[in-house]
Amino acid sequence: MSTPSYPVVLDLTGRRVLVVGGGPVAARRASSAVAAGGRVEVVAPWLCEELASLVADRAVEWRARDYADGDVDGAWFVHSATGDRTTDDAVAHAADRARAWCVRADDASASAAWTPAVARSADGVLVAVSGGGDPGRARAIRDAVAAGLDSGELPVRATRRRTIKGPGTVHLVGGGPGHASLVTVRGRRLLATADVVVVDRLAPRGLLDRLSPDVEVIDCGKTPGHHQLTQDQINAVIVERALQGLDVVRLKGGDPFVLGRGGEEALACHAAGVPVEVVPGVTSAVSVPAAAGIPVTHRGVTSSFALVSAHDGVEPIERAAHEHAATTTLVLLMGVRLLRDSAAALVASGRSASTPVAIIERGWTEEQRTTVGTLADIADLAEAGGVQSPAVVVVGDVVALRADLGPFSPESRQARRP
């Protein structure tokens, strides 16, 4: 396409598309035309396997012979991919006389039309790329655009007011342990197309900076001892917005179903007839210790870990200590406020006072900090160091591995700074 060109998107629905040729290139062109709704007819003395499959499925009609004069008559769009220059010339000339667009596979410079490399998103965005006569470059750019569409890096949210039919969908998105880069590709994509985002305090808030200005952001603002919105109010607001036909992303820290109350929100949506999608996230129970160089399991140390919420007191921690072997790693979420009571309860339940303990604050952020001690002294160390939530508490011999592994991120970057 070195000559001036005029890009256009064609509607092939119900229109006759002629494909001349039976090889793999013709098969790709025929498949694309079928997907676009075209009424496809193939003229070729033989067919490759993919085309034969289309014929067997009655997706295309096959004329089992060589191309003949008159085949182009009545065609709305033509592809010529025989590999024979004389035949492709004849098809192109006939299409030109019949005022039908013809794409040649053998010589783009002799075509009246070209097929670009195309990237499509799940919600109808189509991007066509011309490589200026270089198909490899076109495909490379197409692949980069497709990755941007899939990941939500490109501004894919619709701006034209759409006709609302029925409720929107509530997407319960796990944002991961805190850093914006650790959200899943699916989660980022949904954020890029959301009408409403209902966000938690511990969600990766850096993602909010990339939202369109007209996206409604509702901050739940949950902090220890203070709830800007109660859980019932959160349930009500996501249902209300969805019933207005809006797509809602409920952005959480970690994983929606790991102490995230995502199940309650999903039940509220089901009760109201609102569709729900759950997008898993990387739970802080595993990823935050990892950032500090602490694997929750390690061969020769322990093969199991137990996740416990300390939000409702020390009783669940005591039960976990009784139910699991002393070698089992205990991971405590929301455990800073009752740290002293929890440590005492674990010792009283049979854990050695010398058991290693680590507290990792603000995991995967630039403010990440780790405090290491034992059940005997961790509460004093935390108090002296001003340890605060959000933090993950790890109890078990795996904490000692940190001395050899070292922190991975972002503490490790800070440690390397001169």
Question: Residue 410: its pLDDT value, please?
Answer: 59
One-letter identity of residue 189: R
Q: Residues 368, 406: one domain?
A: yes
Average pLDDT for residues 326-349, to the nearest whole number?
94
Residue 208's domain comprises 170-279
Q: Residues 237, 298: one domain?
A: no
Q: Measured on CA atoms in the order 130, 189, 150, 59, is the torsion positive or negative? A: negative
In a domain, 162, yes or no: no
Last residue in a domain, options 256, 279, 302 = 279
In a domain, 308, yes or no: yes
In a domain, 106, yes or no: yes
DSSP states of 340-369: HHHHHHHHHTT--TT-EEEEEESTTSTT-E
Whether 415 has a pLDDT exceeding 70, the answer reads no
Question: Residue 179: its pLDDT value, please?
Answer: 85
Task: Say how far apart CA 281 and CA 379 lie, in whole Å.
Answer: 30
| DSSP conformation class of 12 | -
Is 0.85 topped by the overall pTM? no
Alpha-carbon radius of gyration of the chain: 30
In a domain, 134, yes or no: yes
Q: Residues 66, 102: one domain?
A: yes
Whether 393 has a pLDDT exceeding 80, the answer reads yes
Question: Residue 108: its pLDDT value, please?
Answer: 75
Last residue in a domain, options 93, 125, 156 = 156
- % of the chain surpassing 70 pLDDT: 92
Question: Residue 235: its pLDDT value, please?
Answer: 95
Secondary structure element (H or E) that encloses residue 139, with its range: helix 135-151
Contact indicator for 106, 95 with CB cutoff of 8 Å: no
Q: Residues 293, 411: one domain?
A: yes
Task: Say how far apart CA 242 and CA 253 lie, in whole Å.
Answer: 21
Q: Residues 272, 236: one domain?
A: yes
Question: Residue 223: its pLDDT value, please?
Answer: 52
pLDDT tens sequence across 53-64: 999 999 999 999
Confidence of residue 30 (pLDDT cuts 50, 70, 90): very high
Kind of pairing between the strands at 369-374 and 39-43: unpaired
Question: Residue 161: its pLDDT value, please?
Answer: 62
Question: Residue 416: its pLDDT value, please?
Answer: 45
Number of Cβ atoms within 10 Å of the Cβ of 245: 14
Confidence of residue 417 (pLDDT cuts 50, 70, 90): very low
Question: Residue 73: its pLDDT value, please?
Answer: 94
Q: Residues 212, 267: one domain?
A: yes
> At which residue do the structure tokens 């011309």 appear?
130
Question: Residue 412: its pLDDT value, please?
Answer: 54
CATH code (residue 3) = 3.40.50.720
Confidence of residue 148 (pLDDT cuts 50, 70, 90): confident
Structural domains of the chain, count: 4
In a domain, 163, yes or no: no
Whether 218 has a pLDDT exceeding 70, the answer reads yes
Q: Residues 107, 121: one domain?
A: no
Q: Residues 261, 212: one domain?
A: yes
In a domain, 165, yes or no: no
CATH code (residue 221) = 3.40.1010.10
Q: Residues 134, 108: one domain?
A: no
Which is higher by pLDDT, 214 or 271? 271
Q: Residues 146, 252: one domain?
A: no
Kind of pairing between the strands at 77-80 and 16-20: parallel
Kind of pairing between the strands at 170-174 and 276-279: parallel
One-letter identity of residue 107: D
Reported for 22-28, long-range contacts at CB under 8 A and 24+ positions apart, including other chains, are 22/46, 22/47, 22/48, 22/51, 23/48, 23/81, 23/83, 24/48, 24/50, 25/81, 25/105, 26/51, 26/79, 26/81, 26/82, 26/105, 27/51, 27/54
Q: Residues 130, 41: one domain?
A: no
pLDDT tens sequence across 169-197: 999 999 998 888 899 999 998 998 899 99
Last residue in a domain, options 156, 180, 207 = 156
Secondary structure element (H or E) that encloses residue 78, with its range: strand 77-80
Q: Which residues are catalytic?
A: 200, 222
In a domain, 175, yes or no: yes
Whether 294 has a pLDDT exceeding 80, the answer reads yes
Average pLDDT for residues 271-295, to the nearest whole number?
95
Question: Residue 418: its pLDDT value, please?
Answer: 39
pLDDT tens sequence across 163-175: 667 899 999 999 9
- % of the chain surpassing 90 pLDDT: 66
CATH code (residue 404) = 3.30.950.10
Q: Residues 320, 391: one domain?
A: yes
In a domain, 227, yes or no: yes
277 strand-pairing partners: 171
Confidence of residue 408 (pLDDT cuts 50, 70, 90): confident
Strands (E), 280-417: 305-309, 329-333, 356-361, 369-374, 391-395
Which is higher by pLDDT, 155 or 309? 309
Question: Residue 9: its pLDDT value, please?
Answer: 84
Contact indicator for 241, 195 with CB cutoff of 8 Å: yes
| DSSP conformation class of 85 | H
pLDDT tens sequence across 242-258: 999 999 999 999 999 99
Whether 1 has a pLDDT exceeding 80, the answer reads no
